[in-house]
Structure 1
Amino acid sequence: MDKGSIVERYRRDIILQLFTVKSFADAWPTWKLEIDRLTADMTDARGIFELGNHLANIFRTTGQGGRAQSSLSGGGIAWECLVCWYMNTVMAGSRGVVMRPVKELVPPAVLDATCIVYGNAQTNTESDLVAVVFPSGVFGGVYSPAFVGDVVAKNARDTTVGIIQCKTNWNDNAQIPMLWDMVYRATGFAEHSVRVGRNGYSPRHFKEFSYSFVTVPSQGDTSKFKPHSMAVKRVRGLSGGNYWGHPSKSDVALSISEIFNRNFGVAFDDNILSHIEKVIEAGLIKP
């Protein structure tokens, strides 16, 4: 596993961007203490993978778990950054990356494919994470985000893409991913002049395309979420699934750690735990 590979240099830029977000950078020293405790200082492969079961509690160590605080935009962005960091840590050394919706980082073909055109107006989804799994054997050149964008544009049919909406609150936001997923699956509603995609790209042009929802949730007491709860029903059918920062609960939500096998398994050449062990040995995950 080459630390200097184009995918890993791209991942490095993605991670560095996270630390330009004040709410994330401020919370990180506290979160890192808990992360190190759960992962034996980032040397335990299973501990790293199973951080997905603990992300909600890690998030709350900085006091951002309560509804009044986490409803603030800073708390929501910090949660998005934490999920992004976790997913890239598990995917280190693989062909997959996950990034915040920063124009300089997201491949233009993905932005074009996920653009909603309503009449003459164009818009993308809310601030969502973007996951990309590159096809194997396509990189050969000098790294830059623009170069990565060209690779995706030329190899869209062999590229897997996932949109991941991250929200601290579940009840107030469940209808949003439900509606976006419906639009993307339908690729628009021609009778209402709603189309998905531009410049020759749409979700159907990728090898796989999924839309997921990841929440803390800020409500705290997860026992209140039942299979018949309206918030649960709204996201149950998402193409990419619904997840939270706790262990999986049958018919309610999966742990975030399950998102890899479900949507991005093609990123790994081995089972995920073995992959993480090799990545630790290669020094791609540092204490």
Structure 2
Amino acid sequence: MTAEHHRHLAMKSVEAISTWKACWPVWEVEILGRTNGLSDAKKIHELGDHLRDVFFATNTGNRDQGSLSGGGAGWESLVTWYLNLVLSGTNAVAMRQSKAVVPRTLLDATTISYGNNQTNTESDVCVVVYPNDFNFPATDRDFAKNLDLEIAKRIASIELGIIQCKTNWNDNAQIPMLWDMVYRASFGSATGIHIGKNGYNVSNLKRFTYSFVTVPSQKGPKMPNKPTQMAVKRVNNLTGGNYWGMATKNGVALSASEIFDRNFSSAFSKNIRASIQDAIDGKIGLFS
């Protein structure tokens, strides 16, 4: 088997979400119209410039707490789908945070302990990049268990990117800033803070990044749009960068389409658009 089986499992998990089931029929029409029916590699890559418009296609204008929660799950799912679309045919897989699809070793490596309390970051999505010679399980039987065993053996060759996805930028920018600081820091025993468990730590990985991807849901003057604004400053120096579902605005945010070059370039054996075209032609991954 290949990374495509892991991608298949990751997307099955997304497709089971009620918000995805409700929104996908509308989003799919938007996406197909913007990408010539998923046949244009350039437009597929550039879809990251338009994810906000796709996301808002299902916007009812309802801002109660229930709709916000649903919106958050929808945004995480849409970002996961877009990542896996572009990564189709590569050795990189995007997953929503779930014990069912995220290998145990990677969950252990990113666990934060404070005293006797353990928690994982608010990682809505994570991307694992496997080395080219990675030995994927040969059969579907016990796939997740055997995949994790191989990851544990090859952790020094694994790259991991954690991506926090939020619809509202202003209300959430401080969260990825603080998590990124925690993962960067080295703590003495007196602090009671420890990164990793069961012998695994993010420092064992070949590469680790922490990113923020927002819609953003704000409109007009409420939307962060200047480098001097606090919401922008808070995510300006994340190890993995700050992105939104629109075209890049210098000093403010990068298009979601730029996350591949910035964080996951090692997954591609050729340029990104050529890789997408190969997946289209070969009907690989989400193009199958």
Normalised TM-score (structure 2): 0.94
Letter in 2 for 1:131: V
Q: How does 1:105-184 map to 2 (within 5 A)?
A: 105-140=101-136, 141-143=138-140, 144-184=143-183
Q: How does 1:14-29 map to 2 (within 5 A)?
A: 14-29=10-25
CA distance in 2, matches of 1:31, 1:80: 14
Q: How does 1:201-280 map to 2 (within 5 A)?
A: 201-221=200-220, 224-280=224-280
Structure 2 segments unaligned to the other structure (5+ residues)? none
Paired residue for 1:286?
A: 287
By how many angstroms is 1:121 displaced? 1.0
CA 1:125 to 1:82, structure 2 compared with 1: closer, same or farther past 3 Å? same
CA 1:183 to 1:71, structure 2 compared with 1: closer, same or farther past 3 Å? farther
Residue by residue over 1:81-135, the C-alpha shift from the partner in whole angstroms, topping out at 9 and shown as x without a partner, is 0000000000000010010111011111110111011111111112521110001
By how many angstroms is 1:190 displaced? 3.4
Residue by residue over 1:33-81, the C-alpha shift from the partner in whole angstroms, topping out at 9 and shown as x without a partner, is 0100011000000111111000001000001677557862111011000
Does 1:63 find its partner at 2:56? no
Normalised TM-score (structure 1): 0.94
Residue by residue over 1:165-224, the C-alpha shift from the partner in whole angstroms, topping out at 9 and shown as x without a partner, is 000000000000000000000144533201111111111100000000000000023764
CA distance in 2, matches of 1:16, 1:169: 26
Whether the aligned pair in 2 keeps the contact of 1:71 and 1:168 (CA below 8 Å) is no
Residue by residue over 1:229-249, the C-alpha shift from the partner in whole angstroms, topping out at 9 and shown as x without a partner, is 000000001000000000000
Count how many residue pairs are aligned between Structure 1 and Structure 2: 283
Letter in 1 for 2:253: A
CA distance in 1, matches of 2:34, 2:53: 11
Whether the aligned pair in 1 keeps the contact of 2:126 and 2:163 (CA below 8 Å) is yes
Paired residue for 1:52?
A: 48
Structure 1 segments unaligned to the other structure (5+ residues)? none
Whether the aligned pair in 1 keeps the contact of 2:85 and 2:287 (CA below 8 Å) is no
Letter in 2 for 1:148: L
Letter in 2 for 1:209: F
Residue by residue over 1:232-274, the C-alpha shift from the partner in whole angstroms, topping out at 9 and shown as x without a partner, is 0000010000000000000000000000010000011110000
Letter in 2 for 1:92: S
CA distance in 2, matches of 1:65, 1:229: 26
By how many angstroms is 1:286 displaced? 3.0
Does 1:88 find its partner at 2:89? no
Whether the aligned pair in 1 keeps the contact of 2:3 and 2:91 (CA below 8 Å) is yes
CA distance in 2, matches of 1:64, 1:149: 41
CA distance in 2, matches of 1:34, 1:158: 38
Whether the aligned pair in 2 keeps the contact of 1:168 and 1:218 (CA below 8 Å) is yes
Whether the aligned pair in 2 keeps the contact of 1:212 and 1:238 (CA below 8 Å) is yes
CA distance in 2, matches of 1:236, 1:65: 30
Whether the aligned pair in 2 keeps the contact of 1:67 and 1:218 (CA below 8 Å) is no
By how many angstroms is 1:16 displaced? 1.2
Residue identity over aligned pairs, in percent, reads 48
CA 1:247 to 1:189, structure 2 compared with 1: closer, same or farther past 3 Å? farther
CA distance in 1, matches of 2:197, 2:37: 45
4+ aligned runs moved over 2 Å, structure 1? 64-71, 140-143, 187-191, 220-224
3-state SS of paired residue (1:236) = coil
CA 1:64 to 1:230, structure 2 compared with 1: closer, same or farther past 3 Å? farther
Residue by residue over 1:150-179, the C-alpha shift from the partner in whole angstroms, topping out at 9 and shown as x without a partner, is 221111111100100000000000000000
By how many angstroms is 1:13 displaced? 1.0
Q: How does 1:183-202 map to 2 (within 5 A)?
A: 183-188=182-187, 190-202=189-201
